Amino acid sequence: MARYEVLEAGLGTAGSGAQADILFEMGMMYATGRDCSVDLVAAHKWFNIAAIKGSDRAAELRAELAGTMSKREIAQALRDREGPDGSRVAAEHGEQRLGLGFSLDGVVREYGALRDAILAVAKTERVSVREWEHDVLFDCTITGIAAAVSEYQRQRDAELQRHMNEHFAFIAHELRNPLGSALAALSMLERKQVLDMSERFAQVLHRGLTRMHELIDSTLRTAQLATAIQLQREPTRLAALLEDMEMSAAASAEERHVSLTFETAEDVTLDVDQRLVRSALTNLVRNAVKFSHAGGAVVVRARSTDEHVVIEVEDSCGGLPPGMVQQAFAPFAQLGSDRSGFGLGLAIAKQAADAHQGVIRVQDLPGKGCIFALELPIAARLEEAASAKPH
């Protein structure tokens, strides 16, 4: 180690402000045991980084030090060049390649190409690569592949799971709404004695609808609410959306003895994804009817400004339980004692609002009910924003 001692003594004249010299000094500290225990792996790591930064002295000492180390120690030093989380770069590479659409074998081939490129540069520069250096390069390549592939697979599986959950949760929930209307209509026909439930075809109809309802509920229990949405915008009249809401909720409101009133101002055209907005509004109105007490009222109001349309749904639920205002739009949150649903309706409504750069909020009226308000940009504002973007 005498050579290290001599070089250490001369550090004072080596331009200590330079980054390469600072890194070189770190290598010297570990190589000589100055203020720490001697650690050849750490010394090799810092000499290696200093050499990359342009220190010729570090390159010389790195080569001399490598002669006293095992292949495993050298491989560890090279892997640790980025610190204790050296595989982070490889993991980020795998995640990036997934985002760019690379296949898994494409990610692996890139590391093989990197290894070949390193050897090709060495050959071009007439640098002799020794056997142990080949082994170290191979070991580092395999380590990089393992980290990149692991992260690639983890991100891919998570993405597939999110898409699957979104698909099942949305489809099941949307099937549940019209099915609920069908069951409510069947119940009304029975009460009004229009349909004789003792008839076999009526019983088959009731059993079939009930069984389908159970299957959809079972699907919802195992689904997670996903957040990513691809909008399919189209010009949509507000009046048409409100008419759909009134028709879909009328039977349930009558069955529960809840009055349903719509108060609308002038009609406006929205540039929205009809499927999502219709789902959001339908869920708001159905929830209002569901949680309003018998004899109560649900009022839907719509108004517009130059920039937004605001749709309010006021119910007669008696107010929210303490602490539930903050949780109202969380997936699977249950706001009342009725547990027949799964708490996805308001989460889907918020999802639709967020996707349209809108807002959804709730105002609690203790002892009376709640007002849920959905605010969306109107078409003119969206068109102006689109035309203002640079091309």
What phi and psi values does residue 297 have, to the nearest 5 degrees? -135, 145
Render pLDDT for 98-107 as a digit per residue (tens, 0 to 9).
878 888 888 8
Render pLDDT for 332-373 as a digit per residue (tens, 0 to 9).
555 555 544 445 678 778 888 888 889 999 998 988 999 999
Residue-level pLDDT at 156: 83
Confidence band, pLDDT 50/70/90 cuts, at residue 86 = very low
Residue 389: pLDDT over 90: no
Instruction: Give the amino acid at 3.
Output: R
Residue-level pLDDT at 352: 82
Residue with tokens 């708001």: 284
- Evaluated on CA atoms 383, 387, 389, 391, the torsion sign reads positive
45 with 81: CB under 8 angstroms?
Answer: yes
284 with 313: CB under 8 angstroms?
Answer: yes
Residue with tokens 């050897």: 119
CA-CA distance, 370 to 364, in Å (whole number)? Answer: 5
Cα–Cα nearest to 36, from 45, 44, 27: 27
Q: Average per-residue pLDDT in the chain?
A: 77
The contacts found for 95-99 with CB under 8 angstroms, 24 or more apart, are: 95/151, 95/152, 95/155, 97/148, 97/152, 98/152, 98/155, 98/156, 98/159
Confidence band, pLDDT 50/70/90 cuts, at residue 76 = low
Instruction: End-to-end CA distance of the chain: give it in Å, rounded.
Output: 64
